[in-house]
Each structure stands twice: as C-alpha cells, then as structure tokens.
Amino acid sequence: MTGNTNQTDYVEMFQEWMQKGGKAQAEFMKSFCSFMENNQKFDPLQTLKEVTSKAAEAQAGFVGNVASMQKNAMEQAFNVANMMQNFMGWGAFKTTVGSNGRISIPEAERDALRLNEGDLVQVMVLPLEKKKPKKE
C-alpha cells in the first residue's frame, strides 16, 4: 500500500493566507486613507444615504421587472384560455363526398359536437386526395 507522499503543511498554508489577507487589508486602508486626505468633505452619513438610495432604486427596478414579466405571463395565459373557448365547439374529421355532392358527419363527431338534425354548421373544405378511377 502506498501512502500519500504529498504532505500538506497546514501551518504554512495558514501563514500564507494571513499574509495575503493582511496585504489586501493594508492596500484597502492605504487607498481609503488617500481618499480621505484628498476629500475633506467626506460625510459617512451622506454616503450611507446615497448607497441606500441607489440600492432602493435598483431593488424597485428589479421588482418592477418581475411584476411586468408576471403580468405579461398572466395576460398570455388568459388570452390562450379565451382562445380555447373558440375551439371547444370545433371539430375536424375526414369524410368523402357522396352523390349530389353530399357529405356526412360521422356519428362520433356529431355526438361530441352535440349536433342534431337541422343544426346550422360552417363547413370548410380542404381537398386531401382525388378519387382514383377504378381499373377494369
């Protein structure tokens, strides 16, 4: 059995982490102090107000966008539901043209559409295939 030959020195890793963190903090403090020296008008309360105001504006914009998306989605769903009502009394089926150009609606479709003798219906004709002559 072979062991792990790559032993990690956790003490060294921690020391490096602390040094890097310390350098980052030192750079931040140096930059901040430089800003403070050059800007004698720095008002922490005013800065906090500005940051809070910008955050509130961003949050309001985000909420407005989400609300707009929800409104659009609800309108689309409502429109689809309204369109579905138009198709509830609609059917499509295949039939053949009989003598004198008559067509018939199959019984299952008549039942599903609740059609009775004498009901007025709208017919749309879409020819699918021509009848092939019988070979003698």
Per-residue pLDDT tens digits for 29-46? 777 777 666 666 667 777
Residue 43: which domain range? Answer: 30-113
**pLDDT in the model for residue 12:** 77
Residue 84 inside a domain? The answer is yes
Residue 57 inside a domain? The answer is yes
Number of domains in the chain: 1
Residue 123 inside a domain? The answer is no
Mean pLDDT for the chain overall: 78
Residue 126 inside a domain? The answer is no
The pair of structure tokens assigned to 113 is 């559409």
The pair of structure tokens assigned to 112 is 């599903």
Tokens 């429109």 identify what position? 79
Residue 3 inside a domain? The answer is no
CA–CA gap between residue 17 and residue 11 (Å, rounded)? 10
